[in-house]
């Protein structure tokens, strides 16, 4: 998806977003409805439908959000998903595009502490949001405990689903849905692994939760 983008990096926000404001992982929040080129969104509306149509351009909006601790301000086509914003405009390619339709979980990131499918999340709705991707989990050379557990448990083969699995696992642990392997399976059920590494993935989440 093409986008007219101007990007600036400003110092990290001192404000932290509240988890309660974030969308549910299983809730499609891409409800900014594009109607005749106009979009209802949280970002700053830059181009009206009539003006954009007259100019032959897609409507765009400016949005400021914090990604892995760094405030980013971008201007994007209103139809841009968070996943495309991350991968194509911010060069954060750890989040994977599997189905691009909310069915595989490969694109899972945290928005205001909540798990979301970034392929279903409109970027322009994220004004002021705090986004954490797989690139933001480690502290320097020190991996997040769940990243280390995936290595220790050999919880991947091709690795394509792994960033989404880990981000979903972090969310699952934060939510406290780790009382049993069955509960972990239930709350990780939106993350598909074509290599069938589920037993080891669940074990990695379970062990990391137990160490908290």
DSSP 117: E
Q: 207 with 153: CB under 8 angstroms?
A: yes
Q: Total binding residues for ligand FES by CB under 6 A?
A: 23
| Nearest residue (CB) to ligand FES, 138 versus 195 | 195
Sign of CA dihedral 201, 203, 208, 210: positive
DSSP 174: H
159 binds ligand FES (CB under 6 A): yes
Rounded to a whole number of angstroms, the minimum distance from the CB of residue 90 to ligand FES is: 17
DSSP 176: T
195 binds ligand FES (CB under 6 A): yes
158 binds ligand FES (CB under 6 A): yes
User: Shortest CA distance to 27 belongs to which of 150, 107, 117?
Assistant: 117
| Nearest residue (CB) to ligand FES, 75 versus 84 | 84
Among residues 161, 166, 184, 209, the one that binds ligand FES under rule CB under 6 A: 161
User: Shortest CA distance to 43 belongs to which of 85, 94, 2, 88?
Assistant: 85
57 binds ligand FES (CB under 6 A): no
Query: Helices 162-175 & 198-211, crossing angle to 10 degrees?
Result: 40
157 binds ligand FES (CB under 6 A): yes
Segment near ligand FES (CB under 6 A); pick from 21-29, 46-54, 138-146, 187-195:
187-195
Q: 92 with 109: CB under 8 angstroms?
A: no
Among residues 21, 194, 199, 211, the one that binds ligand FES under rule CB under 6 A: 194
Rounded to a whole number of angstroms, the minimum distance from the CB of residue 87 to ligand FES is: 11
**For the chain, how many residues are written?**
212
Q: Which of residues 87-116 bind ligand FES (CB under 6 A)?
A: 97-100, 102-107
Interatomic CA distance for residues 107 and 17, integer angstroms: 21
The footprint of ligand FES (CB under 6 A) covers 97-100, 102-107, 117, 119, 156-162, 193-195, 197
């Amino acid at each position: 998806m093409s986008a007219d983008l101007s990007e600036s990096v400003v110092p990290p926000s001192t404000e932290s977003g509240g988890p309660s404001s974030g969308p549910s992982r299983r809730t499609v929040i891409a409800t900014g409805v594009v109607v005749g080129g106009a979009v209802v969104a949280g970002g700053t509306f830059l181009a009206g439908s009539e003006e954009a149509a007259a100019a032959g351009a897609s409507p765009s909006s400016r949005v400021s959000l914090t990604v892995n601790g760094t405030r980013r301000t971008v201007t994007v086509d209103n139809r841009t998903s968070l996943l495309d914003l991350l991968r194509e405009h911010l060069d954060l390619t750890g989040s994977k595009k599997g189905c691009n339709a909310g069915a595989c979980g490969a694109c899972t990131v945290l928005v205001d502490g909540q798990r979301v499918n970034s392929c279903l999340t409109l970027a322009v709705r994220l004004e002021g949001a705090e986004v954490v991707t797989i690139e933001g989990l480690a502290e320097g050379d020190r991996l997040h405990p769940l990243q280390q557990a995936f290595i220790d448990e050999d919880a991947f083969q091709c690795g394509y689903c792994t960033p989404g699995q880990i981000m979903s696992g972090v969310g699952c642990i934060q939510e406290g849905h780790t009382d049993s392997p069955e509960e972990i399976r239930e709350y990780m059920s939106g993350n598909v692994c074509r290599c069938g590494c589920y037993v080891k993935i669940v074990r990695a989440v379970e062990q990391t939760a137990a160490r908290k």
